[in-house]
């Protein structure tokens, strides 16, 4: 669920197709920098009504999704 929602938010942010984003897709491949990541996490927090503290840098969309899922568990 988290990954799918993230893919939708990322696609909306970069003007791409969520179906083309996989868990192994890197943020670098998407042209997403750390500021973009923070903005997208803020949007995800708003949509899920949670507060997340990013801890470090995430290379792939799947890594970030797993981190968020661990915070929601």
Active site residues: 33
Q: What is the 3-state secondary structure (H, E, C) of the chain?
A: CHHHHHHHHHHHHHCCCHHHCCCCCEHHHHCCCHHHHHHHHHHHHHHHCCCCCCCCCCCEHHHHHHHHHHHHC
């Amino acid at each position: 669920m988290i990954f799918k929602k993230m893919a939708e938010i990322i696609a909306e942010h970069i003007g791409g197709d969520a179906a083309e984003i996989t868990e192994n897709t890197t943020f670098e491949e998407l042209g997403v920098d750390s500021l973009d990541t923070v903005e997208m996490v803020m949007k995800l927090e708003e949509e899920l009504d949670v507060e997340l503290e990013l801890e470090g840098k995430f290379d792939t969309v799947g890594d970030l999704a797993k981190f968020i899922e661990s915070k929601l568990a």
